[in-house]
Amino acid sequence: MKKHLTTISLLTIFSFFFFTSSVFAQDAKEIVRKAEEKFNGEKSSYSEMTMTIVRPKYQRNVEFKSWSETTGNSLTLITAPAKENGQTFLKSGNNMWSWNPSIQRLIKMPPSMLSQGWMGSDYTNDDILKESSLVKDYSHKITEKETIDGMSCYKVELLPLKETNVIWGKIIIWIAEKEYFQLKTEFYDEDNYLVKTHKSSKILLFDDRKLPSVMEILPANEPGNKTVVTIKAIKFNIKVEQDFFSQQNMKKIK
């Protein structure tokens, strides 16, 4: 009888852990999806941001506007400083381009440029053009819960799927349990070394939702370097014309 009960108990425990692991795996992907939709909109978004690039010997500001669709298309326009005003960056389908009006030059960007700093910042081209998808290109696992700025967060580990071509070997995201804010993100290379950390703060109301309005990007091995991105305005689920994300539009948009 004892042996029978022990067997039942072991089976119950095994079933519980198997079930819990499966549910956590499913929940983890859903949590990341909700966090992405919270920031990017369910269909599309338009944003205005300021980026401050901080270096030990200098500091400079860049202002820009961005339009994006959750299907993967995005267009970014530099509005300041004056010497860089009018530069645009486009992702349409699997193709990416940059346009510099001062030299009238359109450049197709190869995948090798995705990990490079955008406009000389710690923000990468992949961050701004969103070539990879945190939902589609990675597996997801909740490893534990932690508290950041008084908010209980899911700590979610993302590992690249075998069939995807992404620049990160691992990503860890801390997502607020109640509001789905992405409060902290760590990016690791293929050898599991930390490359940079994103930290978000200052929750404000934008359009129909609250979001962190400031993100600090901290490179791991460059003391004194950081990039601070501040959201000035965001609108969600805007109407975007069919030919908006095109080479013709990136040359004339203002």
Determine the Cα–Cα distance for residues 33 and 38; give it in Å rounded to an integer: 9
- Could you tell me the two tokens for 83? 């010497």
Indicate the helix (H) or strand (E) that contains 26: helix 2-40
pLDDT at 27: 92
Express each pLDDT in 213-225 by its tens digit: 999 999 999 999 9
* CA–CA distances in Å: residue 219 to residues 3, 54, 56, 63, 195: 57, 11, 13, 21, 6
pLDDT at 210: 96
DSSP state of 109: P
Name beta bridge partners: 64: 49, 78
Express each pLDDT in 95-151 by its tens digit: 899 999 999 999 998 877 878 889 999 988 888 777 678 999 999 999 999 999 999
pLDDT at 22: 43
Domains of the chain plus CATH, in order, are 36-252 (2.50.20.10)
**Mean pLDDT value across the chain:** 89
Express each pLDDT in 69-104 by its tens digit: 988 899 999 999 999 999 999 998 878 999 999 999
pLDDT at 244: 95
